[in-house]
Amino acid sequence: MSASGAAASASGDGTPRILHLGLGNFHRAHQALYTEDAGRHGRPWEITGVAGSTRGVVEALHRQGMRYSVVTLGPRHTGVRQVAAVTDAFVAADDPRRVPREIADPRTRVVSLTVTEKGYAVSPRTGRLDLDAPDIRADLDGQGPPRSTVGRLAAGLLRRARESGAPVTVLSCDNITANGTTLAGLLRGFAAAMPSRDGAELAAALEEFVTFPDTMVDRIVPATTDAHRSTAAEAGFADEVPVPAEPFTMWVMRDRFAAGRPAWEEAGAVLSDRVHDYEQIKVRLLNGSHSLLAYLGLLTGRELIADAAADPAIARAVALLGDEYEPTLTLPEGFDVTAYRAELGERFANRRLGHRTAQVGADGSLKLAQRVPGAALWHLAAGRVPSALALTVAAWLRCTAYPEALDAGRTGVPPEPAGARIRELAARCGGTGGTGSTGGTGAGGRGALRLAREVLTHEAVLGRRLGEQGEFVERVAELLDALERGGADAAVREACAAGAGRGSGNGDAAGAAGPRGRPVPP
């Protein structure tokens, strides 16, 4: 069963419900809107939102009668819409036993997630569940109510298996490669590490009544500011937690739902078996370019993504990166990649979004693990070293290893889970911070090569396969050294010269004149 009407035949009474883990801005500007719009074309569904530990959004929603506004910021037009799709919300840390209970409730037909890459506890070395992660270890040892995302899902699904066995769909909406398939594998890994009886029950449940469709989500949603609150107020909504968002939105999913779903296709979602292809387009062309914009922007003192995109040198590097990504993609029939890349340039240039480089650059080691290795390995297998992909890694390393190179008072410093370890390695390898724009007196190429080898090869931060590619590691080191000696402009010139030398890169900015319009789904 997959159509919205099929939900009526599932177990449980009353309005069908989605339990959403990760009640942040993205969900409220994306899946919640699709769900509300779908209710106008089929049976309405309710959403119960779960915040991990931050109370602000949950408390504000309750004060506001579970309503909030989405402020759509186009280049020349602003729209404000009130949303009521989220009908209840709570904080998991305040009521840790409620999450498994809600998952087990038969009225919950879909459990969806936007918990970011770090919420999945994937080991960068193995690509599997990190059984040594503190929260995973505590959940496996039964140290109180579950704390990790995987642990909470496991506890809830096991309870559901024992109480009703009602079918349910677990729907990841995070930027994880093959996100549904990956999450299913993580839960199987968790079940295998559980005590034998519980693990066997959970493993059986995962096969018998749980589905994990792959999805791709796309919308740029920056952090909320007082300006967005003022915009909502001017439109008549006294809203403490409005959500700013760009006009563009896209959602692609495999139609594999165990207990029904909202009529999301009526709200514009694309149902396709080609989710992986859409996902690679988005993760590489949009997210990968976003990362390069963020790190080069930070290194040149740009607070906003739009300001980084307006820099001709940075735009040239992003165009080269797009040229490196494009041949690695398999395009769904009818998808106009030239138009998509042109529209990306317009989206990045939308200064009214106020999308901050530090926000986009956060958690780089986790994000780049999804955005760099696959494409880089594709080129390396063909005998080419992709310079723009290497520049992306070098710029991230520069920002992470030497935060003193950033104008932190202006841009901020992006949080990075591997930051402390990388800074320790940098100190041992002998590089220096400097200004990041005028060069410096660092240890030079040897220190950069040592740091690149330590991070990519020995620590395998972006995965073992990429760390084994000596030519790529050396190119990262060369560009890291260029960033230290001559700043971002010098590194971009070096990367683009290398790209031109192998016949890649047209030198045009990602937002240069070209076909306009939205990508066409099959």
Sequence-distant (6+) residues with CB within 8 A of 383 are none
Closest listed residue to residue 16, CA positions, set 112, 110, 157, 113: 110
**Burial level of 60, CB count in 10 A (0-12/13-18/19+)?**
middle
φ/ψ (deg, to 5) at 182: -65, -45
First CA to last CA distance, the chain: 22
Q: What is the pLDDT of residue 143?
A: 87
Residue with tokens 């959970």: 202
Q: How far apart are CA 45 and CA 18, in angstroms?
A: 7
Q: What is the mean pLDDT of each run of 10 residues along the chain (522 residues)?
A: 39 80 97 97 95 95 98 95 98 95 97 95 89 96 94 98 97 95 98 95 97 97 96 96 97 98 97 96 97 98 97 97 98 94 96 95 95 98 97 98 94 96 94 49 71 96 95 97 95 91 44 33 36
Residues 75-88 as b or e (16 or more Cβ within 10 Å = b): eeeeebbbbebbbb
The Cα-based distances of 31 to 28, 37, 268, 414, 520 in angstroms read: 7, 10, 11, 26, 20
Residue with tokens 């003193």: 404
Q: How far apart are CA 271 and CA 276, in angstroms?
A: 12
Closest listed residue to residue 111, CA positions, set 162, 53, 45: 45
Q: What is the pLDDT of residue 432?
A: 65
Q: Contact, 512 vs 346, CB < 8 A?
A: no
Q: How many CA atoms lie within 13 A of 117 on its CB side?
A: 21
Q: What is the pLDDT of residue 2?
A: 41
- Sheet order of strands, 215-218 included: 215-218, 250-253, 270-271
Rg (CA), the chain: 23
Q: How far apart are CA 60 and CA 47, in angstroms?
A: 16
Q: What angle do CA 323, 359, 111 make, to 5 degrees?
A: 90
Q: What angle do CA 321, 329, 187 make, to 5 degrees?
A: 105
Q: What is the pLDDT of residue 4?
A: 42
Q: How far apart are CA 251 and CA 353, in angstroms?
A: 20
Tokens of 349: 């240039």
Q: How far apart are CA 230 and CA 133, in angstroms?
A: 41
Residue with tokens 């066409």: 520
Tell me the pTM.
0.86
Region of 166 please: left (phi>0), alpha (psi -120 to 50) or beta.
beta
φ/ψ (deg, to 5) at 156: -70, -40
Q: What is the pLDDT of residue 8?
A: 37
The number of beta carbons lying within 10 Å of the beta carbon of residue 94 is 11
The number of beta carbons lying within 10 Å of the beta carbon of residue 180 is 23
